[in-house]
Structure 1
Amino acid sequence: MAVYRIGHYGGAGARHVVTGDAVRVVPQAKPRSTATGIIACDWPVSWTLEVPTTWVSGLFLAVFTSDDGHRSYTPFVVRDTARRSDILVVVPFTTYQAYNLWPFDGYTGKNLYKGYVSEGKVGGNPERAFQVSFDRPYAQGGRPRWFEMETSAARWLEADGYDVTYASSLDLHDGRIDPSKYTVVVFSGHDEYWSVEMRDCAESAVPAGTHLAFLASNNIYFHIRVEDSADGRPGWVVTCYKEAPDPEPGESGPTVRWRQLGKKHAKAEQKLMGVQYNGIIEEPAPLVVQESGHWFWSGTGLRDGDHIPDLVAVEADGFDPSMPRPENTRQTLLSKSPYDDSMGRGRKIQNTSLCENDQGTLVFVAGTFAWPLALNEPDYLDEQVGRATKNLMTRMLEPRG
């Protein structure tokens, strides 16, 4: 077991931290799903990593290599909640698990979207799970879906020398994070699955004067419960019934889309962020700039109507006038990008949004999956996106009052 810390490191992208002694292991039984579709591995512990107090907070990757050369991975975060860093990066582990189709074997695996209908064929909602467990590896080698958003953002932030610590979405849920200790909280990737505790934490940041930056899109979409494992370990199961009846909705309501909770969509994600998820993109489309005179676009050389090629990709956010928006804020829509929705819902508009309240606290939403990738991933790299994001961080880190 070798452990690496993700970062810039002169362009290497990671630093080797430690390699453990060889461990003898034996094959384990493949678990079956229960009535809720949950798949949990009741396997014995074969190796434990004691994290030294000298380790720097960060995004880490454990690499497991067998004698015959097979490799698999698992990511984890080392937090340092005692330190008041300028920026806290939140890594979306609840969303990672929601998409995890392990075991990817043709007939067993399930996630919160789908499961197998017959050997080798993936079905849809009727076959999906209502609960997923952290007691299982991530499918197809162990890197969660869209993990490169997190690695790209982490490498970019650390390359520019920002003062950064890291936490997981479960740390928000468990109350380990006081957002008022940080100047900026960055949600670096696709952070779709939120408990009420996670949302309460994020919503408390803005009146406390902490800026929020959502670097991707489709955030705070599904309401979840984070529940105990079968043997009582807290925070081990993600529950989301979506369209199906939720048997135990609790005080926070059923596990449906956030915009379906409260009167007149009172809990819609746009109420906090200013925009919200509005479609899946059929083919990558250009981001069309507007409000080019705004400080956000300073130094990019961009003008209104200019295109940043293929930046609107995978999923998009946009402003919905029928939904609530943040109160006592000035909102600037920094892009207006047409795209074709792959679900047959016609032509849609993507918006990159910036909201500023009366105290000068900012909430930024990039509104596209490709934004964090454009910061450091070679196939997506875009200097104008990097400059605009640096403008944002500079403004967010300026002293106020």
Structure 2
Amino acid sequence: MDRRDFIKTTTAVAALTGTRTLKSSPSAKRQPELIKAENAKPGASFQLTRMMPDNAKSYRTSLIEGYCSRQSIKAGEKLDIFVSTKPVAKFTIDIFRMGYYDGAGSRLMTTLGPFTGKEQPVPEMGEQRLRECQWEASTTLTIPADWPSGVYLGRLSTVPEAADKPYWQSYIIFIVKDDRPADILFQCSDNTWQAYNRWPVNESLYTDPRAAHAPGVSGSFDRPYGKYVQIFDNPQSMGSGEFLLWEFPLCYWLEKEGYDVTYCSNVDNLEPANLSRAKTMISIGHDEYWDVRQFHNVKQAIADGLSVLWLSANDVYMVTPFTPNAKGDANRRLTRETCFGEFREEEKAAYSKVLGPFENPGPDERDIIGARTIVPFNGGGDWTCAKPDHWLFEGTGMKMGDSIPGLVGWEFHGDPDTAREGLEVIAEGNVWAGGTRLGKYAATIFEGPKKNIVFNATTIFWSQGLSDPPGHMIPWSHYSRPHGPDARVQRITANAIKRAIG
């Protein structure tokens, strides 16, 4: 199936499935106090203490690394965990649920092992630059019935052979999902984590020698997450995707505030029922890569009354359909096929050497966001109030032209859909790519047909204004940086959630 046929087929499927009004499982019950009760339990430190990349330029740690058989999983289901140790060593796995927990940031759920490790093979590069492991499972975990939905980190630790030998660590990551009705659905941006993953040598969707945004390049979830590779060096993130960097501050803050929140991965929104059980969905951090079916399901959910808060940027930018892995397991590969929405002529000219060419673009992302990624893609700037009388700013004290320093970056949205009736630009201003190239951002909001809202905060850095949890680093990009937690960002977010969940 070529790209044109793929887009036509998935659009038609989404049009059919999107018309269904699906709800959560009949057996699922509302548990509005679940997160409050969970966070009253004792916390523990999840952080890595000792980690060593293979060398100064490496994105992996072959001393101990691993991955999971599923992006997300429900209680009662089995999760295979694959670990490699080089040299051979015994190891343990501490499983943590991420949250607030009186400031600790996580709760220790169980410790697995010790297991006897083995060196597992690095796969050869296949078609479409695919690196896909077929490792032997080190252990299989059945998710206990009392583990709440959340983001879970597994801390892999080697066991020293003797007291005078060091231990080494890295993470695995997975999401426990459920089907209960909830106020907030926290969608992790794990497609984008995988798109930028360079494990084992330099294999991401960006390292094709043809172009940084070449079509027909694939990535597999069947491999460890390497070290974060973008705007700052963060070896303590090894194995955690991009969760600790861009998404954990929101998770920490939501659970601190006691919101009724449940969690999912990108792939879970291939199912309309996953969206229909929530009052609002939050996209957080860097949510660039979507299967077109996700787009159509979210568009239909907005029409059905779902609110969406885009506390993120560079969202819904590249069409990356899910396909099975070599074993036939569903939705374990991503392939960049095309882009969402037509590139403007000036964008094609400015990025002719790194973009595409992309045939038959997908639908315009502004339909579900209100704005889109524009040239220049990157930059840093202040988030400046453009409509102080709007209810979103209630209690913030912000006046026209007041700014939150450094909150916009390192990617953002602009080109608001001004043809949409009722769309309002509530913050706008300048960004500078490379510290000098001028760009324009726009934060927007519009109402859905059932008084639901779609809020576009327009910055990957939004969560930096919510909290600064353990193990977190404040980013710096394009000679600009956010300043950490800010009462105005917290109040704007609370105002948006209040309106979104009624």
- The answer to whether the superposition gives a TM-score over 0.5 is yes
Q: Give runs of aligned pairs for residues 214-233 of structure 1, distance below 5 A.
A: 214-233=310-329
Q: Tell me, yes or no, if the aligned pair for 1:287 and 1:310 is still in contact at 8 Å.
A: yes
Among 468, 475, 488, the residue aligned to 1:377: 468
1:173-214 CA-to-partner distances (Å, cap 9, x unmatched) read 2x2743222111111221111112211221111111110111
The answer on 1:23 being equivalent to 2:106 is: no
Q: Quote the Cα distance in structure 2 between the aligned partners of 1:128 and 1:205.
A: 29
Residues 362 and 33 (structure 1 numbering): CA distance in 2 closer, same or farther, change over 3 Å?
Answer: same
1:358-380 CA-to-partner distances (Å, cap 9, x unmatched) read 42110011101111121112642
Aligned-residue identity in percent: 28
Among 196, 203, 219, the residue aligned to 1:110: 203
Q: Give the TM-score, by structure 2 length.
A: 0.69
Q: Quote the Cα distance in structure 1 between the aligned partners of 2:205 and 2:411.
A: 18
Q: Quote the Cα distance in structure 2 between the aligned partners of 1:144 and 1:264.
A: 30
Residues 272 and 67 (structure 1 numbering): CA distance in 2 closer, same or farther, change over 3 Å?
Answer: same
Q: Give runs of aligned pairs for residues 2-401 of structure 1, distance below 5 A.
A: 2-68=94-160, 69-81=167-179, 83-103=180-200, 108-114=201-207, 125=212, 130-140=217-227, 141-145=238-242, 147-173=244-270, 175=271, 177-240=273-336, 255-260=337-342, 267-278=363-374, 279-282=376-379, 284-320=380-416, 326=420, 329-342=421-434, 346-377=437-468, 379=474, 380-398=484-502
Q: Tell me, yes or no, if the aligned pair for 1:38 and 1:131 is still in contact at 8 Å.
A: yes
Q: Tell me, yes or no, if the aligned pair for 2:184 and 2:262 is still in contact at 8 Å.
A: yes
Q: Give the TM-score, by structure 1 length.
A: 0.86
1:22-73 CA-to-partner distances (Å, cap 9, x unmatched) read 1101111221211210001121001111101111111111111012421110
Q: Quote the Cα distance in structure 2 between the aligned partners of 1:308 and 1:222.
A: 29
SS of corresponding position for 2:440: strand
Shift of residue 296, structure 1, vs aligned partner: 0.4
* Letter matched to residue 247 of structure 2: E
Residues 343 and 233 (structure 1 numbering): CA distance in 2 closer, same or farther, change over 3 Å?
Answer: farther
SS of corresponding position for 1:94: helix
Q: Tell me, yes or no, if the aligned pair for 2:319 and 2:362 is still in contact at 8 Å.
A: no
Q: Tell me, yes or no, if the aligned pair for 1:275 and 1:319 is still in contact at 8 Å.
A: yes
Q: Quote the Cα distance in structure 2 between the aligned partners of 1:73 and 1:274.
A: 36
Q: Quote the Cα distance in structure 2 between the aligned partners of 1:312 and 1:8.
A: 25
* Letter matched to residue 268 of structure 2: D
Q: Quote the Cα distance in structure 2 between the aligned partners of 1:263 and 1:364.
A: 30
Shift of residue 145, structure 1, vs aligned partner: 3.2
- Give unmatched runs, 5+ long, in structure 1: 118-122, 241-254
Shift of residue 126, structure 1, vs aligned partner: 9.0
Q: Tell me, yes or no, if the aligned pair for 1:280 and 1:342 is still in contact at 8 Å.
A: no
Residues 263 and 303 (structure 1 numbering): CA distance in 2 closer, same or farther, change over 3 Å?
Answer: farther
Residues 304 and 361 (structure 1 numbering): CA distance in 2 closer, same or farther, change over 3 Å?
Answer: same
SS of corresponding position for 1:271: helix
Aligned to 1:120: none
Q: Quote the Cα distance in structure 1 between the aligned partners of 2:286 and 2:221.
A: 18
1:273-328 CA-to-partner distances (Å, cap 9, x unmatched) read 1111123334x32111110111101111110101111111100111346xx865xx
SS of corresponding position for 2:367: helix
Q: Tell me, yes or no, if the aligned pair for 2:299 and 2:367 is still in contact at 8 Å.
A: no
Shift of residue 93, structure 1, vs aligned partner: 1.6
Q: Quote the Cα distance in structure 2 between the aligned partners of 1:73 and 1:389.
A: 30
Shift of residue 163, structure 1, vs aligned partner: 0.5
SS of corresponding position for 2:303: coil
1:236-283 CA-to-partner distances (Å, cap 9, x unmatched) read 11011xxxxxxxxxxxxxx2111139999771111221111123334x
* Letter matched to residue 128 of structure 2: T
Q: Quote the Cα distance in structure 1 between the aligned partners of 2:253 and 2:244.
A: 15
Q: Quote the Cα distance in structure 1 between the aligned partners of 2:246 and 2:442.
A: 19
Q: Tell me, yes or no, if the aligned pair for 1:274 and 1:325 is still in contact at 8 Å.
A: no
SS of corresponding position for 1:36: helix
* Letter matched to residue 72 of structure 1: S
Q: Quote the Cα distance in structure 2 between the aligned partners of 1:266 and 1:70.
A: 44
Residues 126 and 239 (structure 1 numbering): CA distance in 2 closer, same or farther, change over 3 Å?
Answer: closer
Shift of residue 342, structure 1, vs aligned partner: 3.6
Q: Quote the Cα distance in structure 1 between the aligned partners of 2:329 and 2:128.
A: 18
Aligned residues: 366
Q: Tell me, yes or no, if the aligned pair for 1:189 and 1:372 is still in contact at 8 Å.
A: yes
Q: Quote the Cα distance in structure 2 between the aligned partners of 1:30 and 1:374.
A: 39
Higher relative contact order (CA 8 A, sep 6+): 2
Aligned to 2:24: none
Q: Quote the Cα distance in structure 2 between the aligned partners of 1:396 and 1:127.
A: 37
Residues 128 and 356 (structure 1 numbering): CA distance in 2 closer, same or farther, change over 3 Å?
Answer: closer
Q: Quote the Cα distance in structure 1 between the aligned partners of 2:361 and 2:113.
A: 54
Q: Quote the Cα distance in structure 2 between the aligned partners of 1:177 and 1:358.
A: 19
